[in-house]
Structure 1
């Protein structure tokens, strides 16, 4: 199979498995990109996630664009990005259409399913947190940096404008680390 085919089918799988939002899918994306295909190292993956968080758009789309470009240039970038978006878009469109025609009982069932999924999504977010934090275990300075910026993030200007926190952390990291 060509690189573009492998990219396409890998990112279709990631797109279809991306339940729970961007951060919740990080462990799944990690498995595909680091474990299954070894396209990225642990450290590179953590950097991709950090970069994907800083740029506009979902984590999976940004990761697809980056990895696709890295493996096959512009064509790979385009292929991976389309693949990660196409299947979920089709599924959500079909689900929205079905729910718009649903009766009262079906809508109640759908609301119950959504409530039941919230704890699962929370667990997935904790898993994503660990995937991003795990590479920090080798350097105590990164743990300290993480704790300091977590504390700073609780203050008003940074809660309203997290972009300021990203700029501050990037500047401090460049100077201190």
Structure 2
């Protein structure tokens, strides 16, 4: 099996078995691209997640595009992106009629209510996994708490906090020898 086919099928699996959006997909993306296929290191995975959050578009598509490009260039990014969106596109196209028709159904509401806690669990899992890699020293913990404080005030736009965290990174890791 060629590398493009393998990339496509790996991301098709990620797209098919991940529900709840990009953050909920991250544990499966991590397992598939870092642990199973060894296409990138865990450090590269963390960097790709950071870049994917800063660029426009869904994190799952952005990360698929970046990983595909890293593994097999432009063809790899196309294969990964098509893989991650194919299942959802087909499923949404088929299911749209039924979702609209049964949106007030007790069973539909109950199923969605049951999925929400699972999505939160997946997001917390990603947070802990990324945290183990990202918070390696006191400087990273300080930056994390500063940004958390800014975000909790509801006065700072997330884009501005990303810029502030970059500036803090330059100060803490680039300019100050602490």
> One fold, TM greater than 0.5?
yes
The CA RMSD measured in Å over matched residues stands at 1.5
**2:165 is the counterpart of 1:172:** no
Partner Cα distance (1:103, 1:119) in 2: 20
Partner Cα distance (2:92, 2:146) in 1: 39
Partner Cα distance (2:67, 2:31) in 1: 14
In the TM superposition, residue 137 of structure 1 has moved relative to its aligned partner by: 4.3
SS at match of 1:156: coil
Give me the TM-score of the superposition, normalised by structure 2: 0.91
Q: Which runs of 5+ in 2 are unaligned?
A: 174-178
Question: Which is further off, 62-71 or 167-176?
Answer: 167-176
**Preserved CA contact (<8 Å) 1:49 1:132:** no
Partner Cα distance (1:108, 1:86) in 2: 29
Question: Which is further off, 145-154 or 132-141?
Answer: 132-141
**Preserved CA contact (<8 Å) 1:23 1:128:** yes
In the TM superposition, residue 32 of structure 1 has moved relative to its aligned partner by: 0.6
Q: Deviations over 1:25-79 (max 9, x none)?
A: 2111110111001111111111111111111111110111001111111111111
Partner Cα distance (1:103, 1:30) in 2: 33
In the TM superposition, residue 155 of structure 1 has moved relative to its aligned partner by: 2.2
Partner Cα distance (1:33, 1:87) in 2: 18
Q: Identify the residue that residue 52 of structure 1 maps to in structure 2.
A: 52
Q: Identify the residue that residue 134 of structure 1 maps to in structure 2.
A: 132
Partner Cα distance (2:88, 2:70) in 1: 24
Aligned residues: 173
**Preserved CA contact (<8 Å) 2:143 2:168:** no
SS at match of 1:138: coil
In the TM superposition, residue 145 of structure 1 has moved relative to its aligned partner by: 1.5
Give me the TM-score of the superposition, normalised by structure 1: 0.91
Q: Identify the residue that residue 144 of structure 1 maps to in structure 2.
A: 142
In the TM superposition, residue 114 of structure 1 has moved relative to its aligned partner by: 0.6
Partner Cα distance (2:32, 2:114) in 1: 27
SS at match of 2:155: helix
